[in-house]
A and B are shown apart, each in its own frame.
Chain A
Amino acid sequence: MEQITSLVQIKGIRDGLLATFSDAPWEDQRIALLAQIDERPSFFQGARLAMDVGSQILKVNDLVDLRDHLSERNVILWAIVSESSTTEQTAQLLGLATRISKPRPEEHRQVADTITEDTALYVNKTLRSGTRIEFPGHIVVVGDVNPGAEIVAEGNVIVWGRVRGMIHAGCKGNRSAFICALDLSANQLRIADEVSAMLKPQKDPRPEIASINSEGRLQAELWHSG
């Protein structure tokens, strides 16, 4: 669902779709949002859209303009969530809701600037099919990585659970990155630009660690303490 590459992230919520805006110029994001809708018109057809515009300060003209563009595409704008009171007032003026049932998305964006390559993302749940997690540091998962789920990290990936999905460590070319898991029966593992073929599910799984060996090949071996 989430489109991490775009300026505007769109995801499904209970009341329809939520578009989350960043701090980039409003005009760019407006164009990005409409472009995303035009890419998949059938998906957005008749959708109810809420927008989290962060700290953007929006005037009546901005919102009316966007609302008209959206309604041309058969998308209904019903709510604006904002940190700015000006924007909130504008939205109320236009009869739009300023609260949605879900709490505001966590403060990912503010943290983003402080990430160094030694920062780790801690994920305390099982990743199901269709989930993709990308992070510019390490990723630690407490739970399983099911078939159809994907993890992409610039650093190492550590999974306290079973791996059946795809994991890519060192995705920006770090060949010393590693992947370890309690049961490493992944569909596919990648470290930097090396790709391993399917690893067979084991009858008696034991913790394994996968890395690039001295011959430059990706291999997994049993983990030994000390």
Chain B
Amino acid sequence: MTAQVITITSGKGGVGKTTTVANLATALAADGKKVVCIDGDIGLRNLDVVMGLENRIVYDIVDVIEGRCKLNQAMIRDKHYPGMYLIPAAQTRDKTAVSPSDMVRICNDLRPNTDYVIIDSPAGIERGFRNAIAAADRVLVVTNPEVSAVRDADRVVGILEAEEKGTPYLIINRLNTALVKNNDMLSAEDVLDLLGIHLIGIVPEDESVLIGSNRGTPVVTDVKSRAGQAFRNISRRLQGQDVPFMELDSQSGLWTAIQRLTGRK
């Protein structure tokens, strides 16, 4: 096993990075993969809460870096999936406690025994973001269909290209088809048109995502949820399967737009 390191980032805050990490990791673990999540948001940790593991934290990533514990002591096993682990962020420190080379070292230590390492990046383009992308083999940029989020995503894509991280993949999160229909929200085509990168998934707006996050059980485990289905599809695409995009109603022309845009390199 040689793990693929995937970083989830966005530029803007609140677009659903942490939720995406928790859901993709859970979906991959449900497929029998060994997954390690790393919370890169030192000082503002919350991936542990979304995954429902807050009360199990003893050691965190800064303890590993500063040598107070071994790497596997900071890896918290998930409640439901024995193949899924979380390395939590420190809450009492800040981003300067971790350097990009620390992240590379930790990921390299994880690689031999893991299928996927998923890193949750903090918002912004400063130190924490640099740490989060340092070790990435692949970057997923999450955005919402709103102008400010897309602008920040564009900036992040530019930085990733400049850092030679390759062209990232795009997740459009919280798409509300009713609003798009009334021209009150950017459509998936609008977002893709501007960013011009590969789309790996569209997650529809769904209340069950929020409910799942608050309960500490990611929505991806809910077989009836459409957002959960979207995350399951993304996880299959990450595993190299060719999964068709979900039919989101009232999106005429979306198909052709996606095919046109993802087909162009």
Contacts and interface: CB of A to CB of B under 8 A. Distances in A.
B99 to A, nearest CB: 6
B101 A148 contact: no
Interface stretch (B20-28, B147-155, B177-185, B249-257): B147-155
B243 interface: no
Nearest to B160: A128
A144 B193 CA distance: 10
B100 interface: yes
B100 A130 contact: no
B155 A45 contact: no
Interface stretch (A10-18, A51-59, A61-69, A215-223): A10-18
Contacts of A45: 96, 127
A148 B163 contact: no
Contact of B154 (A11, A13, A46, A128): A128
Contacts of B34: none
B126 interface: yes
Given A129-B158, A147-B151, A46 B163 contact: no
Interface centre among A11, A45, A129 (most CB of B within 10 A): A129
Nearest to B130: A12
Interface in B218-250: none
A43 B126 contact: yes
B163 A131 contact: no
Contacts of B100: 16, 48
Give the interface residue-count category, chain B.
20 to 34
- Interface majority SS (helix, strand, loop, mixed), chain B: helix
A148 B154 contact: yes
B152 A129 contact: yes
21 contacts: A12-B130, A12-B162, A12-B163, A14-B163, A16-B100, A46-B99, A48-B100, A102-B164, A127-B158, A128-B158, A129-B151, A129-B152, A129-B154, A129-B155, A129-B158, A130-B159, A146-B154, A147-B147, A147-B154, A147-B194, A148-B155
Interface of A: 1, 11-14, 16, 43, 45-46, 48, 102, 126-131, 144, 146-148, 164
Given A43-B127, A129-B155, 18 more contacts: A12-B162, A46-B96, A46-B99, A48-B99, A48-B101, A102-B164, A126-B196, A127-B158, A128-B154, A128-B158, A128-B161, A129-B151, A129-B152, A130-B154, A130-B155, A147-B194, A148-B155, A164-B194
Interface of B: 96, 99-101, 126-127, 130, 147, 151-152, 154-155, 157-159, 161-164, 194, 196
